[in-house]
Structure 1
Amino acid sequence: MKKQSKTAALVDWIEYRLPMFGFMQKHLVEYKTPKNLNYFWNMGSLAGITLVIMILTGIFLAMHYTPHVDHAFRSVESIMRDVNYGWLIRYIHMNGASMFFIVVYLHIFRGLYYGSYKAPRELLWILGVVIFLMMMATAFMGYVLPWGQMSFWGAKVITNLFSAIPLVGDSIVSWLWGGLSVDNPTLNRFFVLHYLIPFLIIAVVALHLIALHEHGSNNPLGIDKKTPKDSIPFHPYYTLKDSFGLGVFLLIWAGFVFFAPNFFGEPDNYIPADPLVTPQHIVPEWYFLPFYAILRSVPSKLGGVILMFSAVLVLFVVPWLDRSPIRSAHFRPYYKWLFWVFVMTCLTLGWVGSQLPEGWPLFIGRLATVYYFFHFFAVLPVLSRFEKPLPLPKSIDEAYAKKQGRGK
């Protein structure tokens, strides 16, 4: 009998006490996945890899950052000029926030198009929305840390919105500020939370993956696996596909880092924070612009705050608002077109959020806001009553064979 190698013996010793190799084999290699997934299913893995990169670069930046109103701006400039490759780490982190939101927004829109929120994946979807909310909080707090003009005034404007909440609003604002104004306690709070929340996101991501592997991935057809031919092992088929997508994604990210590092930034944030000088046009980061447009679409401060938060919270109840038994928009002729109207509405809100709240942009923003909520509370519940879906294929394998030209 051939003697077992030392490496194999060590693996067996660890596996007997901590079965992580068996777990990886089951969930990363042998895991059965629908054979017809397209590149939109890369977005989940891209988001996970981006999260890891953001945490690693954030740790290195935190080693040199000083969370104090008198030193924060200069410490960021010192990272850019004095720390070896500090400029590279900061530009990766700074642009990484935008890349993170790009893949997450694509991930969300893909889920809405293909019905990935429907039974039995409701909890999977809800955990994804929780991750999205935690991302938004982390990104907002991170934007404050450079302590430039836009950082300071953005923090002041956004945190002051909570004062519109009856009875407890002023107390919430005082707690967020750590005093009577945006000052050093505010910066310290935001730094600690910006550092902490990503690790909490990892914990929710783990739950998200557990829920995903319990019932498997949805697929473009929106039908369940019925035969062994409907699925293939995750490795090597989707590890290679994900690797290709990752390569393209990193090239785009590198393009921004090396050739347009401030493409997503605001020039005013390269001016030290000054509480006595208000910027002419205060805008949040681009990924918050649709919600900012919804906030400004009504003259009431409380009404705007309610609408802004509702625009995100409505995602939690999408699995129960959409009553159609068909998952994929491929087989829903009306929903397919209304989905793209919804996408255009979100893009329009993003543009409106970057404009001054007056004239045509304000009017267009109000119309887009109305349709945004109309899509969730009218289109999704009512459409299923009269929409006649197209016939579903018998199996994933049959549809895949026809697509490849092997069907009869």
Structure 2
Amino acid sequence: MAHAPQSNFENPVVNWIDQRLPIFTMMNKEYGSFPTPRNFNYFWNFGALAMFVLVTMIVSGIFLAMHYTNNTAMAFDSVERIMRDVNWGWMIRYIHANGASMFFIVVYIHIFRGIYYGSYKAPRELIWIFGVIILLLMMGTAFMGYVLPWGQMSFWGATVITNLFSAIPVVGESIVTLLWGGFSVDNPTLNRFFALHYLLPFVLLAVVVLHVAALHIAGSNNPLGIEPKGPQDTLPFHPYYTTKDIFGLTIFLIFFASFVFFAPNMLGHPDNYIPADPLVTPAHIVPEWYFLPFYAILRSITFSIGLPFTDVVLIDAKLGGVLAMFGSIAILFVLPWLDNSPVRSARFRPIFRWWVLLCLVPSFFMLGYAGGKPAEQPYVLIGQLGTVMYFAFFLLLPIIGRIEKPLPLPASIANPVLGGNAATAK
């Protein structure tokens, strides 16, 4: 006869449950006594913040779905009813709409931290790959959610973005027809996007669970980029980092609330308060701000590629833009193998550090700026320069890894944290 596992929780109810289903023991192991490097800085808050925003988006989205009508004749009015007639509907919608922006802000900073401190390097490649999949799912979910209010920018944004798939040879037109559910963006399209927008966050949550599980197997990276060498290099996650996360969450909630209550429409587009009209094209069609860098990459390919001295076109400008846009995400998957340096953290990589700060970061902001402007000069040129800088950052990493001479690494995490000598790690 099997014996119930022993539990030592003070609460008798918790103790009784844990003896029969040791969920509290598991939680304590993974989030209580779990050893973490003792030198985390505030960049390590953003993973927890992303989880908080994801849960907030799922909960607020469920409440919005209770009142939303996924029909082209009623979708716009149902959103206005949520804003005006549903108790606290205006706040739930503003939390959800601005929460999408907050989600991308914390995830973009989280990705920057991963790149700067080399968190994609062995043995954490799979953690990084799960993170890129999360980014893709976020983009798909956010795009479909932006269509649901059925305003002018929703309708025309859906028309432009879905039409991009028509550039794919042979199967492109079939993909567009499948996405539309017909021969134009209409009611079947809205139904598809609503269903997928409701489903994908739960798929995203499942991938986040895999992301965190892989993290707890490989262990967390840290600002020094070296592995803990003993108990002196680690701290239990609770109470040290739970306290730090709560402080970071408090600051973030102040920032989040300032948009929800004082500038709820600042990050949106005013044209989306006009009902969708297939007969009136907006003067300037733009996606949400968090897609602007990738939209700029799409528009930066203004030339076709063909066989020299012939009129044969191999890749036209439209297909080239689509390939460049998807390539800007796909290249993140192979980043762990592009960067061949044995050192993780940019703190000890003098060339790589400046390569990140003077190439990758400016390219992202240049592309974001150009993506929000009309497709005319000088914005196209700025977008093209940003695109070259973005891809150059990744493609030149193998060369940087070979020519760079890293600085000496500390012997352990505890040495610089506790003021010890920075002997070289072996």
Report TM bin, short chain: over 0.9
Q: Quote how far apart the aligned CAs of 1:297 are.
A: 0.4
Report how many aligned residue pairs link the two structures. 401
- Aligned partner of 1:320 in structure 2 is 337
Cα 1:173–1:5 shift into 2, 3 Å = closer
- Aligned partner of 2:88 in structure 1 is 85
**Secondary structure of the equivalent of 2:300?**
coil
- Aligned partner of 1:396 in structure 2 is 413
Identify the match of residue 346 of structure 1 among 364, 371, 388: 364
- Aligned partner of 2:318 in structure 1 is 301
Q: Distance in 2 between matches of 1:390 and 1:78?
A: 60
Letter matched to residue 326 of structure 1: V
Q: What's the TM-score, normalizing by structure 2?
A: 0.92
Map 1:118-129 onto structure 2 (within 5 A).
118-129=121-132
Map 1:148-159 onto structure 2 (within 5 A).
148-159=151-162
- Aligned partner of 2:268 in structure 1 is 265
Q: Quote how far apart the aligned CAs of 1:6 are.
A: 12
Letter matched to residue 171 of structure 2: V
Higher RCO (C-alpha under 8 Å, 6+ residues apart):
1
Q: Quote how far apart the aligned CAs of 1:403 are.
A: 8.4
Q: Distance in 2 between matches of 1:74 and 1:397?
A: 59
RMSD: 1.6
- Aligned partner of 1:376 in structure 2 is 394
Letter matched to residue 135 of structure 2: F
What is the percent sequence identity of the aligned residues?
Answer: 65
Q: Quote how far apart the aligned CAs of 1:402 are.
A: 2.0
Cα 1:403–1:303 shift into 2, 3 Å = farther
Cα 1:6–1:358 shift into 2, 3 Å = closer
Q: Quote how far apart the aligned CAs of 1:358 are.
A: 1.2
Letter matched to residue 261 of structure 2: F
Q: Distance in 1 between matches of 2:412 and 2:202?
A: 40
Q: Distance in 1 between matches of 2:237 and 2:367?
A: 38
Cα 1:403–1:350 shift into 2, 3 Å = farther
Identify the match of residue 365 of structure 1 among 383, 388, 396: 383
Task: Show CA shifts across 1:24-48 (max 9, x none).
Answer: 1101110001000000000000000
Letter matched to residue 126 of structure 2: L
- Aligned partner of 2:190 in structure 1 is 187
Q: Quote how far apart the aligned CAs of 1:371 are.
A: 1.4
- Aligned partner of 2:38 in structure 1 is 35
Q: Quote how far apart the aligned CAs of 1:5 are.
A: 12
Q: Quote how far apart the aligned CAs of 1:22 are.
A: 0.5
Task: Show CA shifts across 1:301-334 (max 9, x none).
Answer: 0000000000011100000000000000000001
Q: Distance in 1 between matches of 2:49 and 2:261?
A: 20
Task: Show CA shifts across 1:117-171 (max 9, x none).
Answer: 0000000000000001000000000000000000000000000000000000000
- Aligned partner of 1:50 in structure 2 is 53
Identify the match of residue 65 of structure 2 among 62, 82, 96: 62
Cα 1:5–1:21 shift into 2, 3 Å = closer
**Secondary structure of the equivalent of 1:33?**
strand
Greater helix share, structure number: 1
Q: Distance in 2 between matches of 1:367 and 1:175?
A: 35
Letter matched to residue 361 of structure 2: V
- Deviates most, 314-323 or 365-374: 365-374
Letter matched to residue 210 of structure 1: A
Query: Are 2:15 and 1:12 equivalent residues in the alignment?
Result: yes
Q: Distance in 2 between matches of 1:343 and 1:6?
A: 48
Q: Distance in 2 between matches of 1:296 and 1:135?
A: 22
Map 1:235-254 onto structure 2 (within 5 A).
235-254=238-257
Identify the match of residue 133 of structure 1 among 133, 136, 151: 136
- Deviates most, 33-42 or 8-17: 8-17
- Aligned partner of 2:327 in structure 1 is 310
Check whether the contact 2:9–2:15 (CA below 8 A) recurs between aligned residues.
Answer: no
Check whether the contact 2:38–2:234 (CA below 8 A) recurs between aligned residues.
Answer: yes
- Aligned partner of 1:200 in structure 2 is 203
Cα 1:403–1:164 shift into 2, 3 Å = farther
**Secondary structure of the equivalent of 2:378?**
helix
Could you list the structure 1 runs, at least 4 aligned residues long, displaced by more than 4 angstroms after superposition.
4-9
- Aligned partner of 2:218 in structure 1 is 215
Q: Quote how far apart the aligned CAs of 1:359 are.
A: 1.0
**Secondary structure of the equivalent of 2:235?**
strand
Q: Distance in 1 between matches of 2:65 and 2:223?
A: 42
**Secondary structure of the equivalent of 2:334?**
helix
Q: What's the TM-score, normalizing by structure 1?
A: 0.96
Query: Are 2:337 and 1:334 equivalent residues in the alignment?
Result: no
Q: Quote how far apart the aligned CAs of 1:8 are.
A: 4.2
- Aligned partner of 2:373 in structure 1 is 355
- Deviates most, 14-23 or 203-212: 14-23
Q: Distance in 1 between matches of 2:154 and 2:377?
A: 27
- Deviates most, 356-365 or 175-184: 356-365
Q: Distance in 2 between matches of 1:178 and 1:363?
A: 37
Letter matched to residue 383 of structure 1: I
Cα 1:238–1:403 shift into 2, 3 Å = farther
